[in-house]
Structure 1
Amino acid sequence: MKKQVASFRDFLTTGALGPVSPDMRLIEVAQALGSPDGWNINEGDPIPVYWFFGKLEVSFDSIAPYSMNWFQIEGASQLEGEFEPLTRQLKVSLDGFSGATRPSEFLAAGLWDSAQASVYYAALSDDILLNICAAGIQIHFQVDTSFIGDRDATKYLSKSTVLQLVRDIDPRTKVDSIYSCPRKATEELPGVFNWHLVTGRDYLALVR
């Protein structure tokens, strides 16, 4: 199978990663990437519908024709250098981005209309969660919360202004994972946590 190089910038802009796009079906992914390195299968599913190709993971619907739910780059904090091999057949030109790229740097890179991009943040025990959602892409960040010391992250968020919060968090992030979802899928995050929302444009204004 032919080896390919994908543009990371194009992926963030379009949701397509080389030969893989979120509107594909299982058989089309198999044709594009070959057999997966591994998979998970749920009890009752006729076939495995969660596939692993190195750092690339793909989730399919459990009902034929097994359309894609989403795919993700897992372990994205490790992205570095000029190129990153994702699978045996696919490597990515990182185009100046890395796992250390900050949320503000993604938002300022001209990938999306910053007014249409959404930044969600929430607290969970000792963790602070931050995600960018734009054009079918979700970038999930890890936040180093050592700066809050022994304080509970929920209390820190409740007592902080948005300006303080953004300036505290932005330089302390690393990319965790990056998802690409079908355009028909909602870009809003599920309501498991008490998410707060700020537009990408407002986030950039606050961090400057």
Structure 2
Amino acid sequence: MIRASLVDFLNTGCLGPVRPGVSMEEIVALLGEPIETIGEPAPHATQRPYWGYGDLEISLAQPEGAAPFVEFLQIDRPERLRGAARRVAPRLMLDLHEFNARSRPSAFIRAVDEIDRVSVCLVDIAQYPAVTVYVGEEIEINFDLGAEDPVETLPPLASYVRQLDEEARWQDLYAYDPRCRTSRRAREETWPGRYAPFMLTGRDYLAALEG
């Protein structure tokens, strides 16, 4: 049984030896065969392989002329993360360090060792109120508010951040391999500057929350 730490995952993107960038063969050696699969390996693949191990999901990149590798790890269904630890895959136990589905974005930000690596977007891809916490370029934590109206311009910051931190609910957590196009990079390349007014540093988010 592999033992990993959610706080370490927030800081490094690694679940012990399970990490972005390792090969398909390494993942099978560590975790066994996946419980669910979508797609299949090259050269017969019509879509890239996506493997499910329970609460842990793995996407595999298939670069031309090279062996497949883990593109990203995803921890899904946070409502199932309860207690001191949770088995997120048959061979992987995750120490939760008191995090659960009700944990606020600010708790995740404070768990990062180097706060200057943290940035926060205050809307989702459709510009509805939401929180996405980025740790560097490769780690992404998404929170959903379930709002019905998009945000055209940034509301008064302190009240808006307090509302988001209190009401947004943890949705999922990703760790990407640096070679892959993250959702943050895809946003910035597809809509240059569109989300800049809604971006804060981790420090500024906490300052707005406490102000």
Q: TM-score, normalised by structure 2?
A: 0.83
Q: 1:100-158 CA distances to partner (integer Å, 9 max, x unpaired)?
A: 1111111123x23222211012256694232111032110111143xxxxx72325xx2
> Which residue number corresponds to residue 66 of structure 1?
68
Alignment: residue pair count: 198
Q: 1:25-46 CA distances to partner (integer Å, 9 max, x unpaired)?
A: 1111111111000111179852
Asked if 2 retains the 8 angstrom alpha-carbon contact of 1:123 and 1:154, the reply is no
Matched AA of 2:149: D
Matched AA of 1:34: G
Structure 2: distance between partners of 1:206 and 1:133: 17
Asked if 2 retains the 8 angstrom alpha-carbon contact of 1:112 and 1:134, the reply is no
**Root-mean-square deviation (Å):** 2.5
Asked if 2 retains the 8 angstrom alpha-carbon contact of 1:114 and 1:201, the reply is yes
**Identity, % of aligned positions:** 26
The 5 Å alignment of 1:155-170 reads 155=152, 158=153, 160-170=155-165
Q: CA deviation at 1:52?
A: 0.7
Q: CA deviation at 1:4?
A: 2.2
> Which residue number corresponds to residue 148 of structure 1?
none
> Which residue number corresponds to residue 151 of structure 2?
154
Q: TM-score, normalised by structure 1?
A: 0.84
> Which residue number corresponds to residue 114 of structure 1?
115
Name the CA shift for 1:97/1:166 in 2 (closer, same or farther; >3 Å): same
Q: Which runs of 5+ in 2 are unaligned?
A: none
Q: CA deviation at 1:163?
A: 2.0
Q: CA deviation at 1:11?
A: 1.3
Q: 1:157-181 CA distances to partner (integer Å, 9 max, x unpaired)?
A: x261222211111111211110011
- Give the 3-state SS of the residue equivalent to 1:190 in structure 2: helix
> Which residue number corresponds to residue 76 of structure 1?
78
Asked if 1 retains the 8 angstrom alpha-carbon contact of 2:123 and 2:131, the reply is yes
Matched AA of 2:26: E
- Give the 3-state SS of the residue equivalent to 2:186 in structure 1: coil
Structure 2: distance between partners of 1:125 and 1:161: 20
Asked if 2 retains the 8 angstrom alpha-carbon contact of 1:123 and 1:153, the reply is no
Q: Which runs of 5+ in 1 are unaligned?
A: 146-150
Name the CA shift for 1:21/1:123 in 2 (closer, same or farther; >3 Å): closer
Matched AA of 1:11: F
- Give the 3-state SS of the residue equivalent to 1:100 in structure 2: coil
Structure 2: distance between partners of 1:79 and 1:132: 19
Asked if 1 retains the 8 angstrom alpha-carbon contact of 2:42 and 2:62, the reply is no
Asked if 2 retains the 8 angstrom alpha-carbon contact of 1:144 and 1:172, the reply is no
Q: 1:49-108 CA distances to partner (integer Å, 9 max, x unpaired)?
A: 111111111111123400221110011243221111111111111012112111111112
Structure 1: distance between partners of 2:172 and 2:204: 23
Structure 2: distance between partners of 1:6 and 1:159: 38
